[in-house]
Amino acid sequence: MKLRLYNAKLLRRAGDAVEVGEILTDGEKIVGVGRSGAASFQADREIDCEGNLLMSGFCNAHTHAAMCLFRGIADDLPLEQWLYDRIFPLEDHLTEEDVYWGTMLQIAEFVRNGITCFADMYFYIDAIYAAAKNANVCLALCCGSNSYSDYDILCEIKKNYSKYNTLSDRVHYFPGLHAEYTCEEKLIADVADFAAESGAKTYIHLSETLKEVGECTVRHGGLTPPQYLHKLGFFDNGGLAAHCTYADKDDLALLSQCGVTPVVNGASNLKLASGIAPVVSMLSAGLSPALGSDGAASNNATSMFREMYLYSCLQKASMKDAAAVPAEEALRAATESGYAALGFDGGMLAEGKYADLVLIDLSAPNMRPASDIRKNLVFSADTSNVLMTVAGGKIVYEKGKYDIGEDLDTIFAQCERRKDRLLQEAALR
């Protein structure tokens, strides 16, 4: 489909000034930005944006989508108790169909919130891919296994790496693992060796809690999680590391040297009382952090507006500096930094980039006066300001209507039924 979105304000990139213009799309790509080309362009649909803002869709660079099935049933608990006493028992009973419907529910929330790209670390990745394909969103699949005891993880990683990196340029696969504290050394070393052989980036949870870091140093002769993984060659081709809440300056310098992107999950880390990621230090180390929501069992929302607000404001409070991490940095982390880290050609409005777009309502009271639209996006806006989401040139959400491959009421009914069954089977009622 060819779209012409006109009479819009445009934010091409996070650091750019807002301008007036239009966007032309053909298939999954942007073919025109600004004012030129409309006369000869034959659009299948022309959309009057009525002076509202067009910008890149958001990238949620760390989540566990199907965990939205557990939203609200593992709250007010610290990470270890949350994970071992509530989440792991529920996950023991997950089926592939559970993951499909849970992912569909999460994707509905994603597109309602302007998210067009996400990295998912969970089980039954065929089901995750099927759900993402329905909605045409960009998907980075990240292996998050933690033991050789059940099956040959390395064989599975190799098979999935070959399969999912050849299906479409809108899906990628990252070999990775859950975390240092859940994986034996041989498994980490084997995945590192495969990444080195294949030239792949890796993905892992890293330095999320102080307890994790302390116990790692005890197990591994004083090495922190980044130092231990580096010793095993895990980041030799770069990669992504979720959380990095307790990465110190030496750790951050090492991650920068290795080409690793930290993915900051502010809301989840606050809710689990895990801590506040050192974003100012990350930026000083030359890193370009991305943003993630984590799963809806620990957040419990997937709003990149809330993540941008926390990304900026937590640093202002931590550093006692109101100028720390300005709005533009938060916008960059939520768009182009996430797309770049995951290897997708988007995150900005430019010819040849993905037509992953979000239309923001500037007429809403919380966006007026329009003194600085970029500041308003980070400090004032919320998900209610999303009027339309376009993923790869397909309108997947528009003013309350969804086009994501499944009916919303069916998704709701499936997820309620599956949530009840999982609670019963895990004996957590």
Give tens-digit pLDDT for 386-402: 999 999 999 999 999 99
The CATH code of domain 2-56+347-398 reads: 2.30.40.10
CA distances from 10 to 25, 54, 134, 137, 403 (A): 14, 5, 28, 21, 24
Mean residue pLDDT across the chain: 96
Percent of residues, the chain, with pLDDT higher than 70: 98
Q: Is residue 325 scored above 70 in pLDDT?
A: yes
Q: Render pLDDT for 81-135 as a digit per residue (tens, 0 to 9).
A: 988 999 999 999 999 999 999 999 999 999 999 999 999 999 999 999 999 999 9
pTM higher than 0.85: yes
CA 145-147-150 angle, to 5 degrees, is 100
Q: Render pLDDT for 123-162 as a digit per residue (tens, 0 to 9).
A: 999 999 999 999 999 999 998 888 776 568 999 999 999 9
* Domain assignments of the chain as residue spans, ordered by start: 2-56+347-398, 58-342
**CA 120, 412, 98, 130 torsion: positive or negative?**
negative
Topology of the domain covering 58-342: TIM Barrel (3.20.20)
**Can the peptide bond before residue 299 be classed as cis, meaning omega within 30 degrees of 0?**
no
Cα separation, 41 vs 69, in Å, equals 44
Cα separation, 394 vs 116, in Å, equals 11
Q: What is the mean pLDDT of residues 19-43?
A: 89
At residue 281, φ and ψ (nearest 5 deg) are -65, -35
Q: What was the pLDDT predicted at 37? A: 57
Burial of 57 (0-12, 13-18, 19+ CB in 10 A): buried
Contact 78, 354 (CB under 8 A): no
Q: Do domains 2-56+347-398 and 58-342 have the same CATH topology?
A: no
List the beta bridge partners of residue 402.
397
